[in-house]
Amino acid sequence: MKLKKSVIALFLGPAVAIYLVIFLYPTLRTFAMSFYDIPSLSSKVAEWTFIGWDNYATLSRSPYFLDSVKNVLGIWAIGGALIFAFAFLFAVILTSDVRGKGFWRSLIFLPNTVSAVVLSVVWLHYVFNSSYGLLTTLFEKLGLTALADIQWTDNEHIYYSMIIAFSFGSIGYFMLILNAGIGRIPTDYYEAATLDGASVWTKFFRITMPLLRDVFRTTLVLWTITAFNFFVWSATFGLDDPHTVTPGYYMYQKVFGKGGSVYLEDSFNVGAGAGVGILITVATIAAAVLIGRLFPKDRLEY
């Protein structure tokens, strides 16, 4: 179909303007900012001082930033293992002959629709509570006193507790994508394998996994983007605890932080904050390329 240029411009104009002003311009400006010393958030460009790679050098020496990088890599690995294990489990179960698939899908996706603040509060103040909490009560009833005595939200455990609680809220989304991918694999393959006497495991590793490579790669990239930009739960669950700080949250503290946190000595620095944003983006792109290399696009047709 063809339309007059003026109509095309009218219909597309607002969306394109938003792209330019809200996405392209800030991306380029953040990139530029990361090479300048910037006195305050609202400083004009004339007040900036070019300092080359100094902001990145500062970051590479900051123990807070390096710890936050370690934290986020751990979230990517541990959270990823948890989420994908459960997502695969439920995705496979929900392509079998179980009844009420629609109900189960809705139920497993439900936590993804709940505000992170609500989920955090419920996990912090109910599941992980050390006097009346779910885990403590459960382990006490089972007579497992060692497990019942774990202080889930102390310095030693809060990082892992956060990953568990966060993963619970993320499984559903990945389950749905994997479930749709598995649903597209022709059932004759499984029927033939069943006739040959293949076990559930053999079918999963020999049929499902190889044929799911494209979908798996996409979900892995999605997870990497989510994990590298991990922010909300550091604020809602970690509540400023340095053990849960990720680069995204570190950047927030550095640029928007209202003070009063452990970062006081690691002072306010807009340029370095911009540098964190750039590093996260570069790391995400590098990881996506690497994942693409490890799981090359499949030419398999089915």
Partner 1 sequence: MRNKGLRLLPAYVPLAAWLAFSVVLFGWVILASLSTTRDIFTNSLLGSGIQLSNYTDLFKQQEMGRYFLNSIIYTVASCAGIALVAAPAAYILGRVKFRGSGFLNLLFVSAMSIPGILISIPLFSLFVGLKLTGSIATLVLIYICTNVPFGVFFLTGFFSSIPKEFEESAAIDGCGPIKAFVKVILPVAQPGIITLTIFNFLGVWNEYFYALIFANDEGTRTLALALQSIVYGYSNTGNYGGIFAACMVVFLPSFIVYLFVSKRIIAGITIGSVKG
Applying the rule CB under 8 A, the residues between 31 and 50 that interact with partner 1 are: 33, 41-43
* Alpha-carbon span 93 to 96, nearest angstrom: 5
Site for partner 1 in 149-168 (CB under 8 A): none
* Cα gap 173→109, rounded to integer Å: 6
Confirm or reject binding of residue 61 to partner 1 (CB under 8 A): no
Q: From the list 229, 243, 287, 295, which residue makes contact with partner 1 (rule: CB under 8 A)? A: 229
Through-space distance between the first and last CA atoms of the chain, rounded to whole angstroms: 33
Listed ranges 146-154, 185-193, 248-256, 292-300: which one lies at the site for partner 1 (CB under 8 A): 248-256
Name the one range near partner 1 by CB under 8 A: 52-60, 148-156, 175-183, 293-301.
Answer: 175-183
Tell me if 4 contacts partner 1 by CB under 8 A: yes
Figure out which of the listed residues 73, 78, 193, 225 binds partner 1, where binding follows CB under 8 A: 225
Alpha carbon distance 164, 223 (integer Å): 15
Based on the shown chain and the rule CB under 8 A, indicate whether residue 118 belongs to the binding site for partner 1.
Answer: yes
Instruction: Give the one residue of 218, 266, 283, 291 binding partner 1; rule: CB under 8 A.
Output: 218
Give the count of beta carbons closer than 10 Å to the beta carbon of residue 126.
12
Q: Is the Cβ of residue 179 or residue 244 nearer to partner 1 in the bound state?
A: 179
Instruction: Name which position in 51, 122, 164, 185 contacts partner 1 (CB under 8 A).
Output: 122
Among 48, 56, 64, 104, contact with partner 1 (rule: CB under 8 A):
104
Q: Report d(CA 74, CA 274) in Å as an integer.
A: 23
Q: Long-range contacts made by residues 37-40, C-beta under 8 angstroms, separation at least 24?
A: 37/271, 38/270, 38/271, 38/274, 39/270, 40/270
Instruction: Give the three-state DSSP class for 50.
Output: strand
Closer residue to partner 1 in complex, CB, 150/225: 225
Number of residues that bind partner 1 (CB under 8 A): 88
Round to whole Å and give the CA distance between 201 and 122.
36
Binds partner 1 by CB under 8 A, chosen from 53, 60, 81, 126: 126
Q: Give the torsion sign (CA, 245, 251, 257, 259).
A: positive
Alpha carbon 113 to chain centroid, angstroms: 15
CB of 160 to partner 1, least distance (A): 18
